[in-house]
Chain A
Amino acid sequence: MKQKIRIGCGAGFSGDRIEPAVILAEKGELDYLVLECLAERTIALAQKRKMANPDKGYDPYLERRIEVLLPHLVKNKVRLITNMGAANPVMAAKKVKVLAEKNGFDIKVAAVFGDDVLTYQNLPIEAFEIFNGENQAFELIKEKNNDTLISANAYIGVDGIIEALDSDAQIIITGRVADPSLFLAPMICEFGWSKDDYELLGKGTVIGHLMECAGHITGGYFADPVKKPVQDMIKLGHPYVDVFSDGSGIISKVEGTGGVINLMTAKEQLLYEVVNPNEYFTPDVVADFTTVKLEEIAENQVKVTGGGGKTKPENYKVSVGYKAFFLGEGEISYAGPSAFERAKLAGETIEKRVSSQFDDFRIDYIGINSVFGDKENPVIPNEVRLRIAGKAKDIDTASLIGEEVEALYTNGPAGGGGVRKYANEVIGIMSVLVKRNLILPQVKIF
């Protein structure tokens, strides 16, 4: 058993930059590289692509990312763990295997799957429970075959990844897995932690959570030139962590990269998207963040100790993707004298022309009230951008908003310019719970 492993995180969402991951693979002296690329809705959109073409449904950047990383992973013996499989991890693994062979690399690639709840035949409705009052998700699952339901993926934990790590696969591609589990799995394997040592699993989960958003902890999405300046954002590096067998860790980044790791960046990330710091639920453990200790031990080095956990949940959380509505949007700018008055006249005109056809209709004046809402005596800027949005039952109705905004060119107030219009189907996400013993993570090696 090892006493220390080094894990890098080279992506914190599906659209993340690729260069920092390459720097980590090349110069990070890593044992593992994690790429976390699945937000809540990403997998539902991927499922839609898979329905259109069964060969697709994995991360659109998969080949691009793997191709540039492969030579470094092989040369430096770094194992890659990623959820870029999205709705189709098996096909993603096959593609990566072919890509590796084409480039002359003889490596094994593992797919971890079994998270897709809709692939299980005959799951009784009793296997499901309503999550957080979201009845509609439960109803969608109950009716299963209706046209509205697109995807249902359980957040599975470390199990499948551990099985893949126990093989000699160098690249491990999963579908929906809880983000911290991508980091916790190699810790369990390398340190021989027991899967019911919840204290250690909690500590490992804290570290996984700190790492999972990549640039978040190195000063990305942190910088504020007035109060929180960050050096050399252009070359923002992504983090790696040295994890020790006692569950403590030291988070750092490759020398020469930009950004900063300090107490401030670590605290912001520790609390990010946490709805209860006493009980942070993952499939592996209910972790406790209230005992975590953070310490700056050197420049760009934060030591993480403490944290813990008790038990693991009896259910998996399932993200349910469904066809929600059609979104129509239109925008136009007004500037100079009476900019706000003209924008208001335009907004009110369109409201009277079409709003009755929409289930929900909204007018924003960008620069005045579009983000924080209405304010008493707002400061009126020299430029105001009108934005109109509505929810419709079909794409033609949704398109009306953009068409009406464009028609302001000849049927609205003076001096409006820069029209943009959009109409799209919106996929919504809700959650439901499923009994974990009915969901079986599987592994296939290529």
Chain B
Amino acid sequence: MKLYEIAHSRAGDKGNVSTLSLIPFQETDYELLKNKVTVDLVKKHFGNIIKGEIVRYEMPNISSLLFVCQEALDTGVTTSLRMDTHGKALSYKLLEMEI
């Protein structure tokens, strides 16, 4: 299934960094996400879009994960040639991932 079925996400941007939250609709699915949505799989899923390192933060206090992705916005929000310079739509790229 796609992550979209069980979780939601919002993308944020800072310079050339994209932040992607991953929040299960049911808090009981937090463990499942923690086990299935690894940094390696996310990196592979995004392919060329995210060129730098990805760090995953676990937030048990709100049953959510946060992926902080370096070199994710071409050269950065203000100078990227991409259509979506902020990477706003990348949240839905994450939700497209199959687990």
Contact = CB atoms under 8 A, between A and B. Distances in A.
Interface of A: 40-41, 132, 134, 221-222, 224, 227-228, 264, 267-278, 289-294, 306, 324-325, 327, 360, 362, 364, 366, 370-374, 387, 389-391, 426-431
B25 to A, nearest CB: 8
A374 B49 CA distance: 10
Interface string B59-99: 10110101010000000111101111000010001001000
B62 A292 contact: yes
A228 B14 contact: no
Contacts of B8: 224, 227-228, 264, 268
Contact of A364 (B64, B79, B83): B83
Given A270-B62, A273-B19, A277-B59, A40 B77 contact: yes
A372 B44 CA distance: 13
Nearest to A289: B59
Given A275-B14, A371-B89, A373-B48, A268 B23 contact: yes
Nearest to B60: A290
Nearest to A370: B83
Contacts of B4: 227
Contacts of B15: 132, 134, 429-431
Nearest to B63: A267
A275 B76 contact: no
Query: Which one of A224, A271, A290 has the highest number of Cβ atoms from chain B below 10 Å of its Cβ?
Result: A271
Contact of A428 (B61, B78, B81): B78
A364 B89 CA distance: 16
Given A268-B23, A430-B76, 7 more contacts: A40-B78, A227-B8, A272-B19, A289-B59, A290-B59, A294-B62, A429-B78
A370 B87 CA distance: 12
B37 to A, nearest CB: 15
Given A274-B19, A373-B48, A373-B49, A389 B81 contact: yes
Interface string B12-35: 111101010101010000000000
Contact of A372 (B49, B62, B68, B77): B49
Given A324-B79, A325-B79, A370-B83, A267 B61 contact: no
Given A227-B4, A292-B61, A272 B21 contact: yes
A290 B10 contact: no
7 contacts: A306-B61, A324-B78, A360-B81, A362-B82, A373-B49, A389-B81, A426-B78
Interface residues of B, number: 34
Q: At the interface, is chain B mostly helix, strand, loop or mixed?
A: mixed
Nearest to A293: B61
Given A268-B8, A290-B59, A431-B15, A390 B81 contact: yes
Nearest to A228: B8
A273 B48 contact: no
A274 B14 CA distance: 9
Contact of A371 (B64, B78, B83): B83
A261 to B, nearest CB: 15
A372 B12 contact: no
Contacts of B57: 276-278
A134 B97 CA distance: 32
B64 to A, nearest CB: 6
A443 B59 CA distance: 40
B66 A277 contact: yes
A162 to B, nearest CB: 27
B14 A273 contact: yes
B68 A275 contact: yes
